Amino acid sequence: MAERAHKFRLKKEDTVQIIAGKDKGKRGRILKILRDRDRVIVEGANMVKKALKRRNQQDRGGIIEIEAALHASNLMIICKKCGPTRIGYRIDGDRKIRVCRKCGEAL
């Protein structure tokens, strides 16, 4: 039986910094979130080579470089003011807003 994935604080199009692994220190945009596996695909990070089969006459096939998924715990969101930070929440009326834990700026 599959374990239920926890709530994600990160969202698609967020700018994040990698804090662990071979691409530590790199920054990029989130392209896709895989909630069931707690993983995220970041633009230009964790590049792996993949063999691609030729599908039709025009398609080239061969070996391509593609982004592989990273675990969400290895990422930190980037605040425009103070850089990598954790995410906090503030209730504004009836809405819940993500805020920077360092400076309180809305993310």
User: Could you give the CA distance from residue 82 to residue 24 in angstroms, rounded to a whole number?
Assistant: 18
Range of the domain at 71: 15-100
Burial of residue 106, with CB atoms counted within 10 A of its CB: 0-12 exposed, 13-18 middle, 19 or more buried: exposed
CA atoms within 13 A on the CB side of 91: 2
8 part of a folded domain:
no
Q: Report the chain's mean pLDDT, rounded to a whole number.
A: 87
- 25 within domain boundaries: yes
Q: What is the pLDDT of residue 41?
A: 94
What does the pLDDT read at residue 17? 93
pTM of the model: 0.78
8 A C-beta contact, residue 14 and residue 30 = yes
Residue 60 located in a structural domain: yes
- pLDDT exceeds cutoff 90 at 19: yes
Q: Is residue 19 one of the residues assigned to a domain?
A: yes
Question: What pLDDT is stored for residue 4 in this prediction?
Answer: 62
Q: What are phi and psi for residue 98, nearest 5 degrees?
A: -75, 130
